[in-house]
Structure 1
Amino acid sequence: MSLDQPTEFVKHQTVTRDAFLGGRLTLSQPRHGFRAGIDSVLLGAAVPAGSESLLDLGAGVGTAALVSLATGRAARADLVERDLPTAELARANLAANDLAGRGRVIAVDVAAKAELRRSAGLQDNAYDIVIANPPFFGTGQGTLATDASRADARHMDEQSLDLWLRCTAGSARANGTAIVIYPASGLGALLAAFSARFGAMTVLPLAPREGADASRVLVRGTKGSKAPLRLLPTRVMHLGEGNAFSPQFDAIFRGEAALDW
């Protein structure tokens, strides 16, 4: 829900303040370009309860990590974002929601070389949970956004996706967990990148309505595990043909429930 209070928060960038979790979070994000939506909330709500250290790769304005912090799913979080104006918005969002003491923003490219990530403050083998909502159109797919930050957030080839999963694996501690939300059409590439580094993979398909194909998937894996893949039943997000969410998802978006899977 937009509070419709634009302000010049970052030079040359007009932002809005938007409410999430039934008003428990208020986040500043660009009026134009890539804007956080339900995927970010679902990703944050999918973090297991009791997680001590969380890493959000490609965090944007911080929505997923802040959802996990605000709902008590994670105790503390590091947010990685390469776009500097967006990273500044993430820092401001932590402060505005009284979460600055539990989170920090690291301005670095997820696909950068390991030594550059380390020098920026991203730790190796350190996090209980690593989450990501990677760019989802492969090269040549979809319509390239005119806004540069939005285009970066939406377009990535399979090689770059593999680099994201390499960073995910390098950042997770032994037996740590990775959770990624991704379009269902890209599941093959995502599983290929996951399976090289994680076991005990669990796939949760999400469909917009009863009888519709899954439109997105959540994939979870455990670093170092050899357990086989599990495919969970599809969960339906909307009731009938309208825009109303099912009770389960309505409770998640209001901040009254987690995405337990």
Structure 2
Amino acid sequence: MSLDQPAQFVKHQTITRDAFLGGRLTLSQPRNGFRAGLDSVLLGAAVPAGTRNLLDMGAGVGAAGLSALAMGLAEKACLVERDDATLGLARDNIVQNGFADRADLLALDILSKGAERRAAGLGDNAHDVVIANPPFFGAGQGTRAPDAARANARHMDADSLETWVKCAATAASAGGRAIFIYPAEGLAALLTAFDRRFGDINVLPLCPRPAQSVTRILVRGIKGSRAPVRLLASRPLHGEFGNGFAPEFDAILRGAAVLDW
């Protein structure tokens, strides 16, 4: 952890250094509270190869955006995060992983008005790929975490998902892509928001094991396209037995493959 973190933050948090992608990426993050994991890596691995300007909305400590850089899928990334302490960790992670010349940070709440986003430096039509892992509990749903940062990462108002997708569409260039990862129970709301602004929408369902119900989804759309929605075959993260990941996902987590979809 860098020594220039705010004193109050350092005093009340224990920071861990965690390896991702088979050690190709090492991230500082709080031991308690919201922690980057499988969803973040899958989101980064879902970025198409050859991406020039990647925008990671609600980036946290930078796991998804930096995973895309580490995998060689994106040339540059802009990480947007509203929490000051988390931004400090993201800044350290950028520097310590050697991405200081390829990654930028913006202190910004995605739910801010358009003029405020532009004033903070988030340009319109400026990114060929936009990714997001939005807060996934609506107001009154789930158990609100006692840790404020974790609670903000998991909960948002019922109408806020629409704003996240609208922001992604505004930030994406013509023909650009938006990619979201989200719990399966939010599919209807996410598809509705995407359908208003994107075409060629692809939905990749992910289930824990073969023949089990889908628990999370990846949704990808292209700005300006009129192609229809495609629902892809669901993919199990694990085999029928044991805790190991299925070969496809094991290779992604080891940094040996990207998500083919």
TM-score (norm: length of structure 2): 0.96
2: distance between equivalents of 1:114 and 1:15? 34
In the TM superposition, 1:145-164 aligns within 5 A as 145-164=145-164
2: distance between equivalents of 1:10 and 1:19? 24
- Superposed CA deviations along residues 40-91 of structure 1, whole A, max 9, x for unmatched, are 0000000000100000000000000000001100000000000011011111
Match of 1:79 in 2: 79
Query: 1:78 and 1:250, CA in 2 relative to 1: closer, same or farther beyond 3 A?
Result: same
2: distance between equivalents of 1:132 and 1:192? 16
2: distance between equivalents of 1:8 and 1:176? 37
Native 8 Å contact 2:5 2:88 kept in 1: no
Q: What amino acid maps onto 1:251 in structure 2?
A: A
Q: What amino acid maps onto 1:30 in structure 2?
A: P
- Superposed CA deviations along residues 187-240 of structure 1, whole A, max 9, x for unmatched, are 001101111111110000000001100110000000011110000000111012
Deviation at 1:14, TM superposition (A): 2.3
- Superposed CA deviations along residues 150-174 of structure 1, whole A, max 9, x for unmatched, are 0010012331000111110000000
Match of 2:206 in 1: 206
Deviation at 1:242, TM superposition (A): 1.7
- Superposed CA deviations along residues 6-30 of structure 1, whole A, max 9, x for unmatched, are 9994432321110000111110001
In the TM superposition, 1:55-134 aligns within 5 A as 55-134=55-134
Native 8 Å contact 1:33 1:149 kept in 2: yes
Match of 2:169 in 1: 169
Q: Superposition RMSD on alpha carbons, in Å? A: 1.4
Q: What amino acid maps onto 1:124 in structure 2?
A: D
Match of 1:247 in 2: 247
Say which SS state the counterpart of residue 202 (structure 1) adopts.
Answer: strand
TM-score (norm: length of structure 1): 0.96
Native 8 Å contact 2:2 2:92 kept in 1: no
Identity %: 61
- Superposed CA deviations along residues 106-145 of structure 1, whole A, max 9, x for unmatched, are 0000010111111111111110000000000111111000
1:39 corresponds to 2:39 = yes
Say which SS state the counterpart of residue 209 (structure 1) adopts.
Answer: coil
Q: How many residues align?
A: 257
2: distance between equivalents of 1:210 and 1:42? 19
Say which SS state the counterpart of residue 128 (structure 1) adopts.
Answer: strand
Q: What amino acid maps onto 2:251 in structure 1?
A: A
Native 8 Å contact 2:200 2:225 kept in 1: yes
1: distance between equivalents of 2:157 and 2:43? 21
2: distance between equivalents of 1:244 and 1:63? 22
Query: 1:38 and 1:115, CA in 2 relative to 1: closer, same or farther beyond 3 A?
Result: same
Say which SS state the counterpart of residue 158 (structure 1) adopts.
Answer: coil
1: distance between equivalents of 2:3 and 2:133? 27
1: distance between equivalents of 2:6 and 2:64? 21
Unaligned runs of 5+ in 1: none
Match of 2:142 in 1: 142
Match of 2:227 in 1: 227
Say which SS state the counterpart of residue 220 (structure 2) adopts.
Answer: strand
Instruction: Give structure 1 regions of 4+ aligned residues with deviation exceeding 4 angstroms.
Output: 5-10
Say which SS state the counterpart of residue 117 (structure 1) adopts.
Answer: helix
Q: What amino acid maps onto 1:206 in structure 2?
A: L
1: distance between equivalents of 2:215 and 2:3? 34
Native 8 Å contact 1:214 1:234 kept in 2: yes
1: distance between equivalents of 2:17 and 2:200? 39
Match of 2:216 in 1: 216
Native 8 Å contact 1:7 1:14 kept in 2: no
Say which SS state the counterpart of residue 39 (structure 1) adopts.
Answer: helix
Native 8 Å contact 1:69 1:77 kept in 2: yes
